[in-house]
Structure 1
């Protein structure tokens, strides 16, 4: 990054963060503290109203705003496609805001940049799955949860668990403190403190129904931060499956969440998974038919045989 770009980036960073120390800026832009001092002096001489307080850091004087900056074609495309994603994946209110943002971005782009950005966007397409059925309910659930999170209100809902035992109830009533929403592997998850389990749990929005925002407020655990939160890894069951080379590409493209490795093996490919319970892979394995073979554990091999036997009886 050259000096001019760095100085502009420093002003943007100060505008975003408010107060920053020279050490913070040096770490951010991977340069020396002495260089940051020189940049601050150059910005002041250029008329940027920077205030510095020993032991506190630098800040922009109140009321100062950076004039609109120009975007490269790549930056414009990233923002416009990002707005497309927000409009598709978030609730209706953010969909409207996303379209409004796109119009404002397009309005300030120079004509040549706008035309080139539009040309690139014309060959990149995000496919939505539609608004009917589960997708429509998910968006409604998302909007309710977003409001509950911002207002710090408890929620109550009915949750459908992925339970392999037919004798065990799949549905349960939950009261939870909603901490945040996470989009992973194509699905939205609610991270929340569950009062039934007395611990932080994850809930797929597609399995939530009857959501109600309660009047009771909650406080997030002081030690919890969503950007750095990582759930405990409780996937203790290792599964190894032989895969016919004819479907190796399709198996790899399936991007199974539990897959740890996919390597060439004896006359085929070896897929290794880590799961919480064998049933997490049962339907996935059956779906490939005779093109896959469970190597271990033996208990999963037995479950596959059992399911095939049931299927044969019903044919």
Structure 2
């Protein structure tokens, strides 16, 4: 029997679907469709093929698919490429996670490596010794709270409140907060907790490096919360405003660094320059401060209010420099 390229791809997709079903309690057909870039109807056919092969799949309309409890796959074998990704993941975990989760991941890596072939282990060690990830310039977590991220993720999963000793940017000392964690996310080189704060009686973001203490409470949530995307998307939609910059063509590559964190949407060539479009909140001076790194070769096309912010910041900076210079003399 001759196998076509399409039939091989379908076989690989069905195997991947089976593996994903075992890795997650419930998976929606739409998730499979987006991952494999096929139609939902195609996923339905693949699921029926697995069922015909004797795989016990439970489905519920409007919810998704799951494997019947107790069904296990044979031991998983990794390709060279898949095994190689473990090294990168391990390095990133060591630098960008808190100490507690880093240790758990290291333990998990020992278990994963134990099922690899000797050749794969040798390849991994060769990659590991030649892959370095620099530490962030600032600590992402308070070194006195090494298990902050672990406790927060546990609280999200178990829907339990946590107590934080948190120092807001305007406070001189940490204060006590009881919060209901909704989710944790990484943005602009920092980890954040998004949670319902009982002190403020509203949803708030808490930066991980400002958490000076954390404790489990055993208290269940007092309310039901939407998922993290719901709240973050809602906030971003409310504050978005248009910013247009004009950049010298030969220097545009320098502005690409970090621009996605400031709402970059698109760019187009305009004569000898590149116009960049952003949708963001520029009113808190964050965008203006980022812009100042490139101010000698970037023009603000709009809005005028952003140009005023930059002018004001430059004036203040000039006054401070002059004051120090005068004092030194």
* TM-score for the superposition, normalised by structure 1: 0.72
TM-score by length of 2: 0.69
The 1:112/1:303 distance shift into structure 2, 3 A limit, reads same
Name 1:40's counterpart in structure 2: 51
Deviates more, 1:95-104 or 1:23-32: 23-32
Report deviation, 1:193: 1.1
Partner of 2:186: 183
1:35-70 alpha-carbon deviations (Å, 9 max, x no partner): 6444433x33xxx6x477999998766544222121
Per the alignment, residue 199 of structure 1 pairs with 202
| Cα deviation, residue 128, structure 1 | 2.7
C-alpha contact 2:161 2:221 (8 A) present in aligned 1: no
* Matching residue of 2:98: 91
Q: Which residue of 1 aligns with 2:316?
A: 307
CA contact (8 A) 1:286 1:304 kept: no
Judge which range, 270-279 or 51-60, deviates more: 51-60
* Corresponding residue of 1:211: 213
**Counterparts of 2:235 and 2:32 in 1: how far apart (Å)?**
34
List gaps (5 residues or longer) in structure 2: 1-6
Q: Is the 8 A contact 2:100 2:146 kept in 1?
A: no
* Residue of structure 1 equivalent to 2:119: 112
Worse-matched range after superposition: 79-88 or 112-121: 112-121
Aligned to 1:283: 289
| From 209, 213, 235, the counterpart of 1:232 | 235
1:255: how far off?
A: 3.1
Is the 1:239–1:272 Cα contact (8 Å) retained in structure 2? yes
Match of 1:248 in 2: 252
CA distance in 2, matches of 1:303, 1:67: 65
- 133-142 vs 177-186, which moves further: 133-142
Shift in Å, 1:73: 0.9
Equivalence for 1:166: none
Q: Which residue of 1 aligns with 2:82?
A: 75
**Bigger shift: residues 267-276 or 246-255:** 267-276
Q: Which of residues 246, 258, 262 is equivalent to 1:258?
A: 262
Long gaps (5+) in structure 1: 164-168
SS of the residue corresponding to residue 136 of structure 1 reads: coil
Go from structure 1 to structure 2 and tell me whether the alpha carbon gap of 1:173 and 1:238 turns closer, same or farther (over 3 Å shift): farther
- 1:163-182 to structure 2, matched below 5 A, reads 173=175, 175=177, 176-182=179-185
Q: How many residues align?
A: 302
Given that 2:100 and 2:147 are in contact with CA atoms closer than 8 Å, whether structure 1 keeps it comes out as no
Find the aligned partners of 1:105 and 1:72 in 2 and give their Cα distance.
13
More moved, 193-202 vs 56-65: 56-65
Match of 1:154 in 2: 162
SS class of match (1:299): helix
The DSSP-based 3-state class of the residue aligned with 1:177 is: strand
